[in-house]
Amino acid sequence: MWLISKLRAVIGIAIQQLRHDRARTILAVIGICLAVLSMTLLGSVGLGVIETGQEKFDASGRDLWVTGGAVQLAPGTVGGFENTVYDAHSVSAEIEQRDTVKTAVPMAFQTVYVSPNGSEFDTLIGTGAPARGGSVQITAGQEFSSRDIHYADGTYNGSMTHEVVISPQTAELYHVSVNDSLYIGGTIGSAQRNEFRVVGISPTFSQFLGTPTVILHLSELQEITGTTANDKATMITVDVADDAAVAAVESDIQAAYPEYQVRTNREQLQATLERQAVLIAAGGSLVILAAIAGIALTTNLLLSLVYQQRETLAALRAQGAAASTLVGVVGTQALLLGVGGGILGAALTVPAIQVLNIAADAIVGFENVVSIQPRILLGGIVIALVIGIVGALTAGWRVSRLSPLEQLG
């Protein structure tokens, strides 16, 4: 009973002191709230990117990705990308001949000039892929009417179909639909000479890339961007047979083509994230700095409070108040500040994530990139409690060292 009464008294005094200096209290709560927000938002962005990336790879319907390394920008070249898979058609045909492989599809990404009228051009991402046989989702119109006949066994002298499948964003951008035309090429001159008929609309690659896209036969994309000489592609996607083990097929293809990297969906995502190591490290540093700033702010507030009340605290000590009581008052203040800042930060995280998702959708075209995770919110509250505990220990140590004789003498 005595312990409960003492605890109630300590909490009451702590609350009264916080209410007495509301400006400092509000400042401390805001500081802890910002520390929590930075941690929860950066953590939510990180988890959201991983989840979104995994969903996109899984939704691709492919099991393995054969690449020649990271896709590099090639400034000053037609197409703007340095694709690193050579003899893509023949390599993919060799892979597809395996009993353990259902399909092997070469794909290329290049920047192309696009115009609805042949006079005003924008640069979009052109995808060289077989938009037929169920390889892409068609929401309007139809797939390509034929296979890639322009390739013609590597001679590139077959007829060009001049068919294009566009993304919904591209259709909206140019106000075009099925059976309308677009001028597309690796240069403006090339685009003016190549008029493509829109045969279908597909969100497949725009969902994966987060940008408006146009899909052409691979050889036709190579033709208009001048990359037919080496049959360059960005990657070869492999769909493994139903009765085959993905890991075993991956190992076999890697052994047959040691010059390329063969990865599963998860491994490809990990490789993509590894190339953003500097950005990830920067985000982690911001979380650490935010927590340190919260600790410093809270500790500074409590030390300042102890300094301002040093004579009062010393008088209480001289009158017989136990040091543990005074330490308890200061420690309770720190914990209340931590809990208040943590709850406020967690509460603001949800609307802040919604704002970030709206911004991400508008800027990069991906929806729900930032993920709301209960464990992230809980982690933010834990960080706030850690901040409060560190502040309490520091301020408590300072109170325990007060000398009534020095302060009242």
How do the pLDDT tens digits run along the chain, 409 residues long? 556 766 676 677 667 767 777 777 787 788 778 777 777 777 777 666 656 555 555 555 567 888 886 555 444 444 455 678 888 888 888 888 888 888 888 888 888 999 998 888 999 989 888 876 666 788 888 989 888 899 988 889 999 999 999 999 999 999 999 999 999 998 899 999 999 999 999 888 777 777 889 999 999 999 998 888 888 888 888 888 888 887 888 888 889 888 888 887 666 555 555 555 445 555 566 666 666 766 676 667 666 666 666 666 666 666 666 667 767 777 777 788 878 888 888 888 888 878 877 776 666 555 666 667 777 778 777 877 777 777 777 766 766 666 655 545 5
* Alpha helices per DSSP H over 204-322: 204-209, 218-225, 246-256, 265-274, 277-308, 310-318
C-alpha 294/C-alpha 299 separation (Å) is 8
Residues with Cβ < 8 Å from 246, sequence gap 6 or more?
63, 64, 240, 264
Distances (CA, A) of 168 to 18, 155, 185, 339, 361: 56, 33, 20, 47, 15
Q: Are residues 239 and 378 in the same domain?
A: no
C-alpha 53/C-alpha 274 separation (Å) is 13
Q: Are residues 328 and 372 in the same domain?
A: yes
Q: Position of tokens 């700095």?
A: 289
Asked whether residue 267 is domain-assigned, the answer is no
Domain boundary among 199, 229, 259: 259
Asked whether residue 271 is domain-assigned, the answer is no
Q: Are residues 197 and 83 in the same domain?
A: yes
C-alpha 90/C-alpha 151 separation (Å) is 11
Domain boundary among 213, 229, 259: 259
Range of the domain at 141: 70-259
319 phi, psi to nearest 5 deg: -85, 0
Asked whether residue 265 is domain-assigned, the answer is no
DSSP 85: B
Distance of CA 303 to the CA centre of its chain: 40
Give pLDDT, residue 199: 93
**DSSP string over 142-186:** ---SS--TTTGGGT--SPP--EEEE-HHHHHHHT--TT-EEEEES
Asked whether residue 62 is domain-assigned, the answer is no
Asked whether residue 358 is domain-assigned, the answer is yes
7's enclosing H/E stretch is helix 2-20
Asked whether residue 141 is domain-assigned, the answer is yes
Q: Are residues 47 and 93 in the same domain?
A: no
Residue 269 tokens, joined: 């995502």
Q: Are residues 213 and 290 in the same domain?
A: no
Give CA angle at 54 (87, 377), nearest 5°: 155
Give pLDDT, residue 193: 92
Which among 398, 313, 2, 365 has a CA at the least distance from the CA of 172?
Answer: 365
237's enclosing H/E stretch is strand 235-240
Q: Taking the alpha carbons of 172, 178, 183, 184 in that order, is the dihedral positive or negative?
A: positive
Q: Are residues 95 and 33 in the same domain?
A: no
Asked whether residue 14 is domain-assigned, the answer is yes
A 10 A CB-CB count for 126 gives 28
Domains in the chain, number: 2
Q: Are residues 50 and 76 in the same domain?
A: no
Q: Are residues 252 and 304 in the same domain?
A: no
User: How buried is 341 (Cβ within 10 angstroms: 0-12 exposed, 13-18 middle, 19+ buried)?
Assistant: buried
Distances (CA, A) of 71 to 167, 212, 224: 22, 19, 20
pTM of the model: 0.60
Asked whether residue 205 is domain-assigned, the answer is yes
Give pLDDT, residue 266: 67
DSSP 76: T
C-alpha 120/C-alpha 100 separation (Å) is 48
Q: Are residues 247 and 281 in the same domain?
A: no
Q: Are residues 102 and 7 in the same domain?
A: no
Q: Are residues 283 and 246 in the same domain?
A: no
Q: Are residues 190 and 281 in the same domain?
A: no
Domain boundary among 218, 233, 259: 259
Which among 145, 170, 130 has a CA at the least distance from the CA of 181?
Answer: 170
